[in-house]
Each structure stands twice: as C-alpha cells, then as structure tokens.
Structure 1
Amino acid sequence: MYVVMNELHVPDEAKEAMQNRFGNSVENMKNIPGCLDFMFLEENKENGKQVVFTKWESKQHYEDWVNSDAFKKAHQGQQNNQNSTKEKSPASGSELKSYEVIHHF
C-alpha cells in the first residue's frame, strides 16, 4: 500500500474555493484504478493547512494515475465560462510527501 499527502499552501480567503475544487474530484477518484481512499483535510485553526490525502494499492497505481490523461485533465485548471482563460489554482504552492505503508489494520 502507498500513501500520498499533498500539503497545499492556500491563503485563508481562497480556502473555500480550494475545498470546492477538490469536492468536485471525489466522484472521479472513485473510478481511478488502484485508488483506495481520497480525503481533503483541513486543520481546525486559523491559517490551518489543507491536505489532499490519497491511499493506493501500490506505488505503481499512483504513478500510473499521475501519468494518465485523467490526472492531466484534473490538474490543467478549470475553463472559465465568461472567457476562454484557464482558472488558476488558489494554491500558491504545495509540498508532496509519499510513504510506503509498513503496518496497517
């Protein structure tokens, strides 16, 4: 099993927009081969962190997703209906951490 956590650097005023963006991804992630779990986490404090947590059957499943058209589509930005520009992510950066699961119940 493989776990990936993406800690997002998001200003407080943009956190709701980020929650909505990842909320739209929940159903899509259910259909990704090897994806066992998808969670969007937020600390309950001012200036708290937002974290995308995913659990995979294997590192290979995660890498297959990252290299897939579905991943590229999910991360290319959303089309703005008022004009043809892409909507920029509210995140100013992120820190990606990944782990092999040694023990699990």
Structure 2
Amino acid sequence: MYVVMNELHVPEEAKEAMKGRFGKSADNMKEIPGCLDFLFLEQNEENGNLVVFTKWESKEHYEDWLHSDAFKNAHKEKRESKDKGPASGNELKTFDVVHHL
C-alpha cells in the first residue's frame, strides 16, 4: 500500500474556493484504478493548511494516475486559469505503508 499527502499552503481568503475545487474531485477518485481512499483535510488551527490524502494499492497505481487523462482533467481548471491558483505552495510527501489495521 502507498500513501500520498499533499499539504497545500492556502491563504485564508482562498480556502473556500480550494475546498470547492477538491469537492468535485472526491467522487471522481472512486473511479481511479488502485485508489483506495481520498480525503481532503483542513487543519484545526488558525491559518492551518489543507491536505489532500490519498491511499493507493501500490506506488505504480499512483504513478499511473499521475500520467492519466483523469489526472489531466482533474487539474485542467488550474492549467487553464490565468492566475496560479489559490495555493501559494505545497509540500508533497509519499509513504510506503509498513503496518495497517
């Protein structure tokens, strides 16, 4: 199993727009081969970050998704936007799952 966490640094005034953008993705991720779970998380702190958490059957499934039309479509709005999007940055972390309940 493979886990990916993408921590998004989003200014407070842009968080609702970002939540809306990822809300559209939640249902689509159910159709992605190898995607076991998709969560969009918000820290319970003032000025907290947003986190996209995905769990995959394998690293290969995740990499297949990165190169898929589904990935391109999920990020189409950001690519076509004239601005750089609501996030001011991000930090991507990947993990091989060692123990799981």
1:43 alignment partner in structure 2: 43
Q: Whole-Å Cα distance in 2 between the matches of residues 62 and 68 of structure 1?
A: 10
What residue identity is the alignment partner of 2:87?
A
Q: What is the Cα-based RMSD across aligned positions, in Å? A: 1.5
Larger radius of gyration: 1
Matches within 5 A, 1:1-105: 1-77=1-77, 86=81, 88=83, 89-105=85-101
Q: TM-score, normalised by structure 1?
A: 0.89
Q: Could you say what secondary structure the match of 1:77 adopts?
A: helix
1:82 alignment partner in structure 2: none
Shift of 1:87: 6.1
Q: Whole-Å Cα distance in 2 between the matches of residues 87 and 19 of structure 1?
A: 19
Return 5+ residue gaps in structure 1 as ranges. Answer: 80-84
Return 5+ residue gaps in structure 2 as ranges. Answer: none
Shift of 1:15: 0.4
Asked if the contact 1:77–1:87 (Cα under 8 Å) also holds between the matched residues in 2, the reply is: no
Q: Whole-Å Cα distance in 2 between the matches of residues 6 and 54 of structure 1?
A: 9
- CA deviation vs aligned residue, 1:27-60 (integer Å, no higher than 9, x gap): 1000000000000000112101100000000000
- Percent identity between the aligned chains? 69
Larger helix percent: 2
Q: Whole-Å Cα distance in 2 between the matches of residues 34 and 68 of structure 1?
A: 13
